[in-house]
Amino acid sequence: MTFTNELRKSADILWKKSIQHPFVTEIADGTLAVEKFIHYIQNDSYYLTTFAKVQLKAASKAPDMHTISRFAVHAQSTVEAEYLLHQTFFGLLGIPHDREFSPAPTAYEYTTHLLSIAANGTLGEIIAAILPCYWLYWEIGERYRNSQPNHSIYDKWITTYGDEGYGKLVFEQIHLLDDLATNASSEQRKLMRQHFLRSSHYELRFWEMAYRIETWPPEVNEPS
């Protein structure tokens, strides 16, 4: 069993909960309340901005030009995805681009988790931390590829993550992590597993954040 297969097996309970979360299943059947998707897409835009920064940090820790160039490609893909959010989903939903947007608690915690690993971790640790986002969305895209939300936005969301081009990016990261794990110490592999599981936990919380339209409690909001 490969290292990433071990990681996937260890996170199976969390991933099953994500794949079967009402936020996801209601996108697939076209019944999700639009205000929940709006909350999701605003926080996802914030998340993707951080995700691209983490990918570039990974590039700075890569051992060779090929790996550096591939992370640059991945970061560019993330930037393009974030741009698509604004041009497509934000436009269709009438969401203004708010540079002062304040992320929900879960989005803030998840991105802080990634930034901390990017600053202090190895290349393998960074990939382990960002891989659940890649891989889980691919599994969701595959699982619901044949669903028919009959909704202009939800149809496109499902199609995006079931696309074969997206799948190639996912498996490129899987194979790279397996290669890095081969020469990693037991302590490094332990950290990779910890980061992978914690990110899987945050992925599940992200759906819940959107479904419950999570916000900061009044006592921690800055006065206007």
Give strand ranges (E) for the chain. Answer: none
- What secondary structure letter does DSSP report for 100? T
Is residue 125 annotated as part of the catalytic site, yes or no? Answer: no
Four-residue CA torsion sign, 193, 106, 73, 136: positive
Active site residue: 203, 214, 219, 222, which one? Answer: 203
Q: Of 6, 133, 164, 219, which one is the catalytic site residue?
A: 133
Distance CA 54, CA 126 (A): 8
User: For the stretch 165-194, what's the b/e string if a residue is b when 16 or more beta carbons lie within 10 angstroms of its beta carbon?
Assistant: ebbebbeebbebbeebbeebeeebbebbbe
User: For the purposes of burial, counting CB atoms within 10 Å of the CB of 68, is it exposed (0-12), middle (13-18) or buried (19 or more)?
Assistant: middle
Active site residue 142: no
* Phi, then psi, of 144 in degrees rounded to 5: -110, 15
Rg (CA), the chain: 17
**Best CA proximity match to 3, nearest among 167, 179, 209:** 179
CB 126 within 8 A of CB 183: no
List the catalytic residues: 133, 203
